[in-house]
């Protein structure tokens, strides 16, 4: 084991977290300070969102700087996933994953009472079979891009999340829901299976072998993930509902929910571990969003590079055996040693003051 881990030492000074080297997002530079079209809970937003946009991208200001809110906004279609919305989400992912100023992303709905109703079946009914295949592949790739964002992601579920809508939430690191929210993978009712986010065609799955060579494989995975050319996390589950749900709530419960197409409320979702927090809905209909924002605020004071590397270690480690996972952890830990943030943390502790991290 020691000899194998020694190979990982070669990564030190060679492997860099991609977000450090990435330039700030062009999208963020275009944002207009003081933004308009804010929700009641949206004070401090910077935004260029317009009322007709199906996806609103908002960068928060002031004490919430570093938090980005993506709001689904197809009120006439219950936020159903259509070609245009998927295209906008993909563009947003491209911008966010390379923006080192982003600290946390919150996914929410701008439409009261609904998170996302899943695929836009009306649009799909008009598609040729070849178009359906192309659309599903794009949707899968986009939701995988969400899962692979290098920063924490939180789904704020203030309303109904069904089918692909729940799969979107499953791709987030953390889920928060109102007690009145309804959630379920209902695809078997339509004689299909959950799968809005399986791996895109030709995209390799992460399957490093265990055994003597697993540590070298772990090093290779960390190296692949942490190069400037690759800002996504390569080894999170490359699948949708049939793959992510069992990893979150366990195999037996996941089978039960998928086989029955059962819909659960926020309280039951919390009881089975589908969500992390459940809150009573408020008069504004945004209780889950407010709780998600409070969680994001807890992340802001922490070392931004450390959080990114911690997510990388967890995501990769969950897909391999424990020995390989520990090797991944060691390789990831090594990336925090030469950072200015680590030195700042030690100085702040010694001087008994809050640290001033810069993500360096």
Question: Which position among 92, 119, 141, 226 bears the catalytic label?
Answer: 119
Q: In degrees rounded to 5, what are phi and psi of residue 3?
A: -65, -40
What are 42-48's contacts with CB under 8 Å, separation 24+?
Answer: 42/69, 45/69
The Cα–Cα gap between 41 and 143 comes to: 26
113 is catalytic: no
Helices (H) and strands (E) in the chain, counts: 15, 11
- Helices 304-317 and 322-336 pack at an angle, to 10 degrees, of 170
Sequence-ordered list of residues with C-beta below 8 angstroms from that of 246, at least 6 positions apart, any chain: 254, 255
User: C-alpha dihedral over 267, 148, 298, 347, to 10 degrees?
Assistant: 150
The Cα–Cα gap between 231 and 96 comes to: 10
Question: Which position among 167, 319, 329, 330 bears the catalytic label?
Answer: 167
Name the one residue in this structure whose structure tokens are 């010694």. Answer: 350
Supply angle C-alpha 299, 303, 308, rounded to 5.
80
Question: Which position among 42, 66, 163, 164 bears the catalytic label?
Answer: 164
Supply angle C-alpha 292, 294, 296, rounded to 5.
70
226 is catalytic: no
* Sheet of strand 277-279: strand arrangement: 45-47, 55-60, 67-72, 104-109, 153-157, 174-178, 277-279
Question: Which position among 145, 187, 329, 330 bears the catalytic label?
Answer: 187
167 is catalytic: yes
Sequence-ordered list of residues with C-beta below 8 angstroms from that of 229, at least 6 positions apart, any chain: 18
Sequence-ordered list of residues with C-beta below 8 angstroms from that of 31, at least 6 positions apart, any chain: 46, 47, 48, 59
187 is catalytic: yes
CB 344 within 8 A of CB 356: yes
Q: How far is CA 308 from CA 29, 39, 155, 168, 318, in A?
A: 22, 29, 18, 21, 16
First CA to last CA distance, the chain:
31
**Catalytic residue ranges:** 119, 164, 167, 187
């Amino acid at each position: 084991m020691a000899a194998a881990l020694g190979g990982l030492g070669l990564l030190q000074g060679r492997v860099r977290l991609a977000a450090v080297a990435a330039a700030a997002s062009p999208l963020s530079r275009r944002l207009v300070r003081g933004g308009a079209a804010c929700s009641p809970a949206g004070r401090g937003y910077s935004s260029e969102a317009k009322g007709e946009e199906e996806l609103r991208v908002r960068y928060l200001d002031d004490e919430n700087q570093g938090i980005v809110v993506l709001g689904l906004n197809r009120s006439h279609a219950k936020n159903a996933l259509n070609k245009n919305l998927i295209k906008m989400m993909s563009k947003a992912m491209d911008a966010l994953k390379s923006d080192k100023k982003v600290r946390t992303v919150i996914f929410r709905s701008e439409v009261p009472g609904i998170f996302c109703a899943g695929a836009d079946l009306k649009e799909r009914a008009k598609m040729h079979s070849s178009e359906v295949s192309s659309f599903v592949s794009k949707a899968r790739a986009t939701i995988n891009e969400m899962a692979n964002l290098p920063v924490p992601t939180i789904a704020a579920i203030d309303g109904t999340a069904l089918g692909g809508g729940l799969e979107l939430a499953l791709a987030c690191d953390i889920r928060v829901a109102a007690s009145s929210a309804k959630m379920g993978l209902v695809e078997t009712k339509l004689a299909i299976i959950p799968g809005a986010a399986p791996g895109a065609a030709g995209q390799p799955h992460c399957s490093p072998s265990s055994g003597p060579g697993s540590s070298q494989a772990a090093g290779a995975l960390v190296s692949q993930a942490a190069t400037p050319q690759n800002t996504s996390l390569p080894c999170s589950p490359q699948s949708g509902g049939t793959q992510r749900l069992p990893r979150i709530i366990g195999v037996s419960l996941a089978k039960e929910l998928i086989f029955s197409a059962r819909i659960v409320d926020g309280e039951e979702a919390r009881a089975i571990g589908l969500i992390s927090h459940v809150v009573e809905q408020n008069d504004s209909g945004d209780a889950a969003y407010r709780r998600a924002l409070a969680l994001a605020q807890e992340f802001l004071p922490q070392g931004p590079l450390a959080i990114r590397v911690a997510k990388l270690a967890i995501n990769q480690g969950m897909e391999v055996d424990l020995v390989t996972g520990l090797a991944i952890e060691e390789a990831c830990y090594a990336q925090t040693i030469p950072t200015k943030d680590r030195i700042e943390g030690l100085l702040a502790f010694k001087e008994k003051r809050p640290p001033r991290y810069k993500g360096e």
